[in-house]
A = this chain, B = another copy of it.
């Protein structure tokens, strides 16, 4: 936060519910500091409420927007909960930004399709959107558990983090296993993963970590994939 205050920035974009790709949740004291910062510089916090719907271990974390409705723009969308192809989302923004936001939206494309918005409204009002969220939360939770179980069994040296919410995990590789070797081993077994280096601004490969999505993979496929790549990830694989 001190680093932020040293910059001339007056707007900051955050994903407090589940940071991509690390999966960390923004701690309560940092949320308050963020709001304090915005008040001090007369700035704004843009809260991308990404993955807030899919939280597994406890009650959903409240939005930062609730702490300071006059300083925070909260954004949500149906991209994770339904499909990115819907191209629908919403903003809750401070009143004094309202007119500017609406003007920009008009300039970008004269607004979103009306029929899609009516369909989503009907889905929400009928209670079926909430039912869908509950159902998918249970599906993703099962996949998350399958991943944790399979890693514990097949890749015991690998630490898993970022699993409090959402549909991806971060795997910290044990000493002696590089991002490059792990990725090559996964590719050889047709298991798609991302190296954490692609998300780092300096592209460094240390600490060696992988980002692994499990949202659209069945429990059986997750278990099977981890069985195949377990030796590569945990460093017990010997190239003969």
Binding site for B on A (CB under 8 A): 83-88, 108-116
A112 — which chain B residues lie within 8 A by C-beta?
87
Rounded to whole Å, the gap between the CB of A178 and the closest CB of chain B is 33
A83 — which chain B residues lie within 8 A by C-beta?
114
7 A-B pairs with CB atoms under 8 Å apart are A85-B114, A85-B115, A86-B115, A87-B109, A87-B111, A108-B108, A116-B116
Rounded to whole Å, the gap between the CB of A101 and the closest CB of chain B is 14
A84 — which chain B residues lie within 8 A by C-beta?
110
Q: Are B113 and A85 in contact (CB under 8 A)?
A: yes
A85 — which chain B residues lie within 8 A by C-beta?
113-115
Q: A83 CA to B118 CA in the complex, in Å?
A: 15
A86 — which chain B residues lie within 8 A by C-beta?
113-115
Q: A115 CA to B109 CA in the complex, in Å?
A: 18
Q: Are B113 and A87 in contact (CB under 8 A)?
A: yes
Q: A114 CA to B85 CA in the complex, in Å?
A: 5
Rounded to whole Å, the gap between the CB of A230 and the closest CB of chain B is 36
Q: A85-B114, A113-B116 are in contact. List 6 more A-B contacts (CB 8 A).
A: A83-B114, A84-B110, A85-B113, A87-B111, A87-B112, A115-B116
A110 — which chain B residues lie within 8 A by C-beta?
84, 87
A111 — which chain B residues lie within 8 A by C-beta?
87
Query: Which 4 A-B pairs give the minimum distances between C-beta atoms?
Result: A85-B114, A87-B113, A108-B108, A109-B109
Residue in A86, A112, A113 whose Cβ sees the most chain B Cβ within 10 Å: A113
Q: A45 CA to B219 CA in the complex, in Å?
A: 54
Chain B residue at smallest Cβ distance from A110: B87
A114 — which chain B residues lie within 8 A by C-beta?
83, 85-87
A115 — which chain B residues lie within 8 A by C-beta?
85-86, 116
Q: A114 CA to B79 CA in the complex, in Å?
A: 12
